[in-house]
Amino acid sequence: MTENRTNIKNKVSKFHDKYYKHLLLIPLLLLVFCGIYLVSFNSSHGDFIYKDITLTGGTSITIFEQVDLIDLTNSISEQLDGVIIREVSDLVTGKQKAITIETTSDLDSAKEVLESYLGHKLDEKNSSFEFTGSALSQDFFRQLLIAILLAFIFMALVVFLIFRSVVPSFAIVLSAFADIIMTLTVFNILGIQLSTAGIVAFLMLIGYSVDTDILLTNRVLKRHEGSLNSKIYSAFKTGITMNLTSFVAILLALLIVGPLSHTLSIIFIVLAIGLLFDLLNTWITNVSILKWYVIRKENKNEN
Amino acid sequence: MKIKLTWRIWLLIILVFFSLLSVIGFPPAFTQKGVVVTGVDSSSPAFDQGLREGQIIVSIDGNKIKNPSDFFEAFQNKFDSNESVRTDILTKNSELIILSNESLQITVSEISNSNLKFGLDLIGGARALVQAEGKKLTDVEAGELVDTTQTRLNEFGISDITVRQVSDLSGNNFMLIEAAGASPSDLKDLISQQGKFEAKIGNDTVFVGGEKDISSVCRDSTCSGIEKCSEVEGGWACNFQFSIFLTPEAAQRHADITKNIPSETTPQGRYLTLLLDLYLDDNLVDSLRIGEGLKGRVETQIAISGGASGVTRNEAITAAEEDMHKLQTILVTGSLPFKLEVVKLDSISPTLGSDFIRAIIVAGLLALIGASIVVFVRYRSIKSSLALVLTSFSEIIIILGIASLIGWNLDLPSIAGILATIGTGFDDQIVILDESIREKFLSLRQRLKRAFAIIMGAYFTALVSMLPLLWAGAGLLKGFAFTTIIGITAGVFITRPAFSDFVRMIEGD
């Protein structure tokens, strides 16, 4: 049994030694594809993501009563702009608890249309509303992008300070960058709109994604015992456990809170997708670059 | 096995203890009976007797008050007769005897069973972000705006509301107004109104709102109130009237302007030919006739009037009273130097609040359990996964403890931050666990030191990536950065070291 395992390990190790540079092609091609996709998406949509009303400006009204979704959609979508209707449902029974109507129209007109459809007034007891002016939300969006950019730069600086060598630090930054770009692309392909909270989730993703990369780089560069492959393998074992626990925790949270809160579900979906890509980017992108770097350095030293 | 706790573990235990104390209060809030006062109108006789926001009412007229509905019941039909009746209010620290013939204008709510404050987006409330229209507010202007608005809201009798100045990454200044719980429906009008009041005769301005021209505004029933109501087409209309007192300068201006206006005879008596027109934000509110006797006289007391309508008589009265109240408020506080624009307005109903908080707690617990199962499957050690859950749990308690200590509002972004912290906490503890069982040729101490090298790296990257969020988006998302920073900091310096000592105990080093 143990012999068998060692055997497999050796085989994997040999395979990896031979093909690790080729493996790098997978994430690289994917990253190039995502980059091209996002650029073309940007030129056809005027923006590189689908924004929801928290980023474009508009109104969201939640009404705490049972409403026929189809009938409501048919009746109001002519009168209001960019209408999206969502259901808020009970976790256990799955019954409709409330509906949320999002529109890019302003608060007063949205209220008026809904009140005339429902036949009664909307007050603070039977409804919630959120309105964001379009100038403000565009400003929010711009600032959040700056926040992410700054966060990214700060993160890169800290990583560089910790490891003090260019290539390994670059590998970490690259894989965090790839996580973000790939997750964004999936959101665009699925047509999911991002909110302010969704963008904040990308900030969270930077933190999560860097964790495993730092673990890997630390084990490979700062330990002296064991072969390169065994160091990578040990980091892999720890890192996979880390990713898996985070993934399980996020999935469970999504399952419970998702039906109640659209805001939190977007956050969790960003994280869940991001963590999946992080598997690829840590254990292929980062590992391959790091291995390449270490082997080249060893060869140089031998000469 | 004799268990000897290290100082790091003791530190964690003590911190968790004090955090719990900070969350539940001392004596624990849930052992307290009664209702908490959330507002007392300054015109209420209860206010004169010393009843204030935050006090706890235990009984009324000898009947125990356990919840807000007991409170409402105690006053039901009490003031129907219009005669003065006695009310005995027992608060936790004092006893009040109040004689009144009208409602005491006290609002109460249930005593919360912890010191945790939840954000509007969880428990309901209203929030408005206000900017000047077509103009960037300077720091000073925003500060003044906040002050004026605060006075206005106080004058209006709304106390359960906070007004703050906030700024964002691009240097924009805003006024942020937040009201917890149910909010007045006309909040938007009240805060976005510039409140430019002008009284004009012809094209000449006689006086404007604010203390420069108006020395006082009468608000009690002897010189302010509803004058008369009459049935009109489609409902009722009511008129209100109240007196104001002009400063000597404004009164002199009035005399100078009226001096040369001819008078005429009307069925009601002799009046000047020009009217005193009252404008609010450039809209004509009312036009008053000026009696001939006032012509050219330096008169400081002036009557202001206006009207409102409604479908029923009562509606019309309420509307007129509200309008009068608003106008009085504006006359006292004066106008703002610029037009305002409400750029964000949220009003969240409390309806889903408790469901929501419950769901978040369940989600958090399940996430903890799920993650600990993964850890158990991986390391086959009940002790380790238990220690892991306990450490994460203590981390949450510390975050909540600090949040309630400094009165932080836990809003949705803050909750997301707590969830993020649990996630990174797990990651770090797995690193510790993993290092502790590897490379046995090193001492456990050395192995744990290695673990902390990784953890500190992860900590600093997470920390710096959160910083920009403290300012982006007018601070509406800073709860996320705040809880994350507290969580990971407590994690790195307190819970993780304790956890590594736990691991050492388990490993028997």
* Interacting residues of A4 by C-beta distance below 8 A, sequence separation 6+: none
A168 cis-preceded (ω within 30 degrees of 0): no
Instruction: Indicate yes or no: CB of B168 within 8 angstroms of CB of A246.
Output: no
Residues A183 and A251 in one domain: yes
Residues A26 and A39 in one domain: yes
Using a CB–CB cutoff of 8 Å, tell me whether B14 touches chain A.
Answer: no
Residues A150 and A209 in one domain: yes
Token representation of residue A42 = 């940007």
DSSP state for residue B168 in the 8-state scheme:
-
Whole-number average pLDDT of chain A: 88
B173 touches B142 (CB < 8 A): yes
Token representation of residue A22 = 């080729």
User: Where do the CATH 3.30.70.3400 domains begin and end in chain B?
Assistant: 125-193
Beta pairing partners, A194: A51
Q: What is the DSSP string of B84-118?
A: -EEEEEEESS-EEEEEESS---EEEEEPPSSS-EE
Using a CB–CB cutoff of 8 Å, tell me whether A256 touches chain B.
Answer: yes
Q: Which residues from chain B sit within 8 angstroms of residue A115, using beta carbons?
A: none
Using a CB–CB cutoff of 8 Å, tell me whether B418 touches chain A.
Answer: no
**Phi and psi, residue B499, nearest 5°:** -60, -40
How far is the C-alpha of A238 from the C-alpha of A252, rounded, in Å?
21
Using a CB–CB cutoff of 8 Å, tell me whether A154 touches chain B.
Answer: yes
Residues A31 and A45 in one domain: yes
Using a CB–CB cutoff of 8 Å, tell me whether A135 touches chain B.
Answer: yes
Question: Is the pLDDT reported for residue A263 higher than 50?
Answer: yes
Question: Is the pLDDT reported for residue A181 higher than 90?
Answer: yes
Find the angle CA(B439)-CA(B10)-CA(B508) to the nearest 5 degrees.
Answer: 30
How far is the C-alpha of A217 from the C-alpha of A231, rounded, in Å?
10
How far is the C-alpha of B221 from the C-alpha of B212, rounded, in Å?
25
3-state SS, one letter per residue, for A219-269: HHHHCCCCCHHHHHHHHHHHHHHHHHHHHHHHHHHHHHHCCCCHHHHHHHH
Least confident of B56-60, B77-81, B129-133, B259-263: B77-81
Rounded to the nearest angstrom, the gap between the alpha carbon of residue A156 and the centroid of all alpha carbons in its chain is: 19
Residues A88 and A141 in one domain: no
Residue B1 pLDDT level (bands cut at 50, 70, 90): very low
Residues 74-103 of A with CB under 8 A from B: 88, 91, 97-98
What's the whole-number mean pLDDT along residues A57-84?
86
B323 three-state secondary structure? helix
* A266-277 pLDDT tens trace: 988 999 999 999
Least confident of A45-59, A84-98, A129-143, B234-248: A84-98
Q: Which of B356, B438, B454 sits opposite A260 (nearest CB)?
A: B356
Q: Which residues from chain B sit within 8 angstroms of residue A252, using beta carbons?
A: 363, 366-367, 370
How far is the C-alpha of B85 from the C-alpha of B83, rounded, in Å?
6
* B468-507 pLDDT tens trace: 888 776 677 888 888 889 988 988 888 888 888 887 777 6
Q: Which CATH class is domain B7-27+352-507?
A: mainly alpha
Last residue of a domain, one of A132, A166, A196: A132
Rounded to two decimals, the pTM is 0.79
Instruction: Indicate yes or no: CB of A144 within 8 angstroms of CB of B441.
Output: no
What number of other Cβ atoms are within 10 A of residue B390's Cβ? Answer: 18
Residue A178's domain is classified under what CATH number? 1.20.1640.10
B272 touches B292 (CB < 8 A): yes
* Interacting residues of B334 by C-beta distance below 8 A, sequence separation 6+: B148, B195, B197, B208, B209, B210, B211, B212
Pairing of strands B117-118, B409-410: parallel
Q: What is the pLDDT of residue A27?
A: 94
Residue of A nearest to B435 (CA): A238
Using a CB–CB cutoff of 8 Å, tell me whether A165 touches chain B.
Answer: no
What's the whole-number mean pLDDT along residues A90-102?
82
B360 touches B382 (CB < 8 A): no
Residues A283 and A238 in one domain: yes
* B286-316 pLDDT tens trace: 788 887 877 888 888 888 877 888 888 888 8
How far is the C-alpha of A185 from the C-alpha of A178, rounded, in Å?
10
What number of other Cβ atoms are within 10 A of residue B38's Cβ? Answer: 16
Using a CB–CB cutoff of 8 Å, tell me whether B349 touches chain A.
Answer: yes
Last residue of a domain, one of A117, A132, A147: A132
* B101-123 pLDDT tens trace: 777 777 777 777 777 888 777 77
* B181-222 pLDDT tens trace: 555 556 676 677 777 788 888 888 888 877 788 888 887 777
Instruction: Indicate yes or no: CB of A91 within 8 angstroms of CB of B342.
Output: no
Question: Residue A68: which domain range?
Answer: 58-132
User: Where do the CATH 2.30.42.10 domains begin and end in chain B?
Assistant: 33-110
Beta strand extents in B170-273 (DSSP E only): 173-180, 197-201, 204-208, 214-217, 224-232, 235-246, 263-266, 269-272
How far is the C-alpha of B436 from the C-alpha of B450, rounded, in Å?
9
Domain count, chain A: 2
Measured between alpha carbons, how far apart are the two ends of chain B, in Å?
13
Instruction: Indicate yes or no: CB of B168 within 8 angstroms of CB of A214.
Output: no
* A237-254 pLDDT tens trace: 889 988 888 888 889 888
Q: What is the pLDDT of residue B214?
A: 85
How far is the C-alpha of B486 from the C-alpha of B492, rounded, in Å?
10
- CA A279, A280, A285, A288: dihedral to nearest 10 degrees? 80
Instruction: Indicate yes or no: CB of B427 within 8 angstroms of CB of A206.
Output: no
Q: What is the pLDDT of residue A282?
A: 94
Token representation of residue B1 = 């096995």
A263 touches A55 (CB < 8 A): no
Residues A73 and A175 in one domain: no
Q: Which residues from chain A sit within 8 angstroms of residue B340, using beta carbons?
A: none
Exposure on the CB side of residue B271, measured as CA atoms within 13 A? 12
Q: What is the pLDDT of residue B269?
A: 76
How far is the C-alpha of B193 from the C-alpha of A172, rounded, in Å?
53
User: Where do the CATH 1.20.1640.10 domains begin and end in chain B?
Assistant: 7-27+352-507
Q: Which CATH class is domain B33-110?
A: mainly beta
Q: Which residues from chain B sit within 8 angstroms of residue A146, using beta carbons?
A: 169, 468, 472
Beta pairing partners, B228: B239
Mutate which: B127, B137, B430, B488, vs A, most A CBs within 10 A:
B430
User: Chain B closest CA to A165's CA: distance in Å?
Assistant: 15
Residues A88 and A230 in one domain: no
| Angle, helices A228-257/A196-222, rounded to nearest 10 degrees | 160
Residue type at B487 in one-letter notation: G
The listed CATH number (3.30.70.3400, 3.30.70.1060, 3.10.330.10, 1.10.3720.10) that belongs to domain B125-193: 3.30.70.3400
| Angle, helices B444-466/B478-490, rounded to nearest 10 degrees | 170
Q: What is the percent of chain B with per-residue pLDDT over 90, rounded to a whole number?
A: 2
Residues A292 and A147 in one domain: yes
Residues A19 and A118 in one domain: no
Residues A28 and A169 in one domain: yes
Last residue of a domain, one of A75, A102, A132: A132
Residues A13 and A149 in one domain: yes
Beta pairing partners, B85: B100
Is pLDDT larger for residue A41 or for residue B500? A41
